[in-house]
Amino acid sequence: MDDKEYSNVYAIPANYTDSGKLMGGMLEIRNTIEAVFLVISLGYAEIKWIPVEATMKFVILVVTILPIGIVALMGIGGDSLGQFLFHMFKHWRRRRKLHMKRVGRTAPVPQGGD
């Protein structure tokens, strides 16, 4: 009889779930598309509408567009920025307003006349 031990343990590579992502699994495709769209549209608007010299425009672009692009690339809570905003608007539209009735004794309401 052959008494060899067999191992059922297999090494799963680190990039196993990186399909559908860019730059070695760092960026999701949806987040990248949203970030590029936001950066181009807002950057173009800032370049055209802000009446300052070129150096100041560059500083304004770096201060405003760079954080927006980074947040759009990272996403919020596992969702892309668009999905997060959609969930927020959906929540605001469907939220319920609770009205609580007072519990306990209150002072009697005075009756008019006497």
For the cut 70, the answer to whether the pLDDT of residue 40 exceeds it is yes
Reported pTM: 0.63
The shares of helix, strand and coil residues in the chain, as percent rounded to the nearest 5, are 50, 5, 45
Q: Has residue 3 been placed in a domain? A: no
In a domain, 106, yes or no: no
Q: Is residue 68 part of a domain?
A: yes
- The verdict on residue 49 lying in a domain is yes
Q: What is the pLDDT of residue 28?
A: 85
| Lowest mean pLDDT, pick from 6-10, 34-38, 41-45, 72-76 | 6-10
Distance of alpha carbon 96 from alpha carbon 99, whole angstroms: 10
Separation CA 75–CA 81 (nearest Å): 5
Number of folded domains in the chain?
A: 1
DSSP designation for 53: -
Decide: 58 and 49 in contact? Cβ < 8 Å. Answer: no
Instruction: Return the pLDDT at 24.
Output: 65
